[in-house]
Amino acid sequence: MKNGNPEPVIFKSISALLKALGLPKPMHPMVALVNYKDIKVDTTELGMGYVLNFYKISFKEHFAGQIRYGQGHYDFEEGGLSFTAPHQVISAAAEEKDYSGHTLLFHPDFIRNYPLGKNILKYGFFSYSVAEALYLSDKEKKVIFSVFDNIAMELDTNIDHFSQDVLVSQIEVLLNYSNRFYSRQFITRKIVHNDLVTAMEAYLVAIFTTDKPLIEGLPTVQDVAEHLKVSPRYLNDMLRSLTGQTTQQHIHHKLIEKAKEILSTSNLTVAEIAYNLGFEQPQSFNRLFKNKVKVTPLEFRQSFN
């Protein structure tokens, strides 16, 4: 590995990654469980980072410094899980430095002919950022470690007709436990997340009190997430857990509240209001308003006369 690579290094196979890390070939070509203490090379030599063509689930025992959550910073020492889907750029310095633990690697082809091959898309945490890792309690760690142990034991067994079935089932168990523990995290870190909800509400109010929608169009989920400095999928899952609504539903709620205000206090036409709120076509505004309020914008205005 050489320093100063202008572009991320792409690893198409698990074998290629293990070779770059100074590790022996995997016991199975499409699944591997790596112990970080066995890595003998400086992974920061990967330069700009790297891209994997396979899934990566890492347990980190120690985080160096603080982890950013939204616009704040919080200390975490208990360690936890992070998840990376294929084709995402991973920063070598941020991901692999100053911690120990394990990483599970598995190729999409390994699960392709199983229900998990399609269902894996429902596990939104593969789209979360490193700062949105799953922080585990001691009890949860034991559960996760037991699954890792089962995978390690199976990988250490001679491959037979049942090997793939057993390994895929263990991966699915790991993902289902992670889903459960993330649900718990959204609740136990409620103070942190409530701060994000408050910041989001303030951001949306500020947008709809300016002419920004008229100039730039309706705010998107990506816009809100970037403002809050969190990933769109994490924001959406967090909001669902705390409020029962998606990010898009929150945007629509603020938009409709603003539309009601304008309809009841101004003489602007419905079309003018639609354009001011960021709609390209008044018909789209009419449909959304009626869907949310059960009456058309004009019928809503007439109710005040």
- The pLDDT of residue 271: 95
Answer whether residue 265 shows pLDDT above 70.
Answer: yes
Does 279 lie in the same domain as 168? no
What DSSP string runs through 134-186? EEPPHHHHHHHHHHHHHHHHHHTSPP-TTHHHHHHHHHHHHHHHHHHHHHHHH
- Is residue 3 in a domain? no
Regarding pTM above 0.75, the answer is no
> Are 269 and 231 a contacting pair, CB within 8 Å?
no
Query: Please, are residues 279 and 285 in contact by the beta-carbon 8 Å criterion?
Result: yes
Residues 166 and 249 in one domain: no
> What digits encode the pLDDT tens for the residues 226-258?
998 889 999 999 898 888 899 999 999 999 999
Of 3-7, 125-129, 229-233, 255-259, which range is least confident? 3-7
C-alpha to C-alpha distance for 273 and 283, rounded to whole angstroms = 12
Lowest average pLDDT, out of 72-86, 88-102, 161-175, 182-196, goes to 88-102
Share of the chain above pLDDT 90, in %: 47
Number of domains forming the structure of the chain: 2
Do 181 and 40 lie in one domain? The reply is yes
230 domain residue, yes or no: yes
Cα gap 242→180, rounded to integer Å: 15
113 and 139 part of one domain: yes
Determine, yes or no, domain membership for 56.
yes
Query: What is the biggest distance separating any 2 CA atoms in the chain, rounded to whole angstroms?
Result: 80
Angle, CA of 256, 198 and 191, to the nearest 5°: 140
Looking at the fold, whether 173 and 195 belong to one and the same domain comes out as no
- In this structure, the number of other CB atoms found within 10 A of the CB of residue 65 comes to 8
**CA-CA distance, 4 to 215, in Å (whole number)?**
41
CATH value at residue 263: 1.10.10.60
pLDDT level of residue 35 (50, 70, 90 thresholds) = confident
Mean pLDDT over each residue of the chain, to the nearest integer:
84
155 and 292 housed in the same domain? no
Does residue 38 lie within any of the structural domains? yes
Residues 151 and 278 in one domain: no
Instruction: Find which of 37-41, 167-171, 197-201 is predicted with most confidence, using mean pLDDT.
Output: 167-171
Among residues 157, 188, 219, which one ends one of the domains?
188
Q: Report which residue type is found at 107.
A: H
pLDDT of residue 91 exceeding 90, the answer is no
Query: Among 149, 170, 188, which residue terminates a domain?
Result: 188
275 located within any domain: yes
In this structure, is residue 43 part of a structural domain? yes
Q: What is the pLDDT of residue 71?
A: 41
Domain boundary among 156, 188, 220: 188
Which of 47-51, 92-96, 146-150 is predicted with the least confidence, judged by mean pLDDT? 92-96
Residues 184 and 45 in one domain: yes
Higher pLDDT, 186 or 254: 254
Q: What is the pLDDT of residue 197?
A: 85
Strand 55-60 versus strand 101-106 pairing type: antiparallel
pLDDT tens-place string over residues 163-177: 999 999 999 999 999
Asked if residue 36 belongs to a domain, the reply is yes
The answer on 208 and 142 residing in a single domain is no
pLDDT at 73: 41
Would the pLDDT of 44 be above 90?
no
Q: Verify that 249 and 108 share a domain, yes or no.
A: no
Backbone angle region of 258, left / alpha / beta, with phi > 0 → left and psi within -120 to 50 → alpha: alpha
- The answer to which of 56-65, 121-130, 166-175, 220-229 has the lowest mean pLDDT is 56-65
Q: How many CB atoms lie within 10 A of CB 58?
A: 22
Under the banding of pLDDT at 50, 70 and 90, the label for residue 68 is very low
| For residue 114, pLDDT beyond 90 | yes
The answer to whether 178 and 210 are in contact (CB under 8 A) is no
Residue 204 belongs to domain spanning:
191-302
Q: Are residues 253 and 179 in the same domain?
A: no
- Select the more confidently predicted residue: 41 or 77: 41
The mean per-residue pLDDT over the stretch 114-121 comes to 94
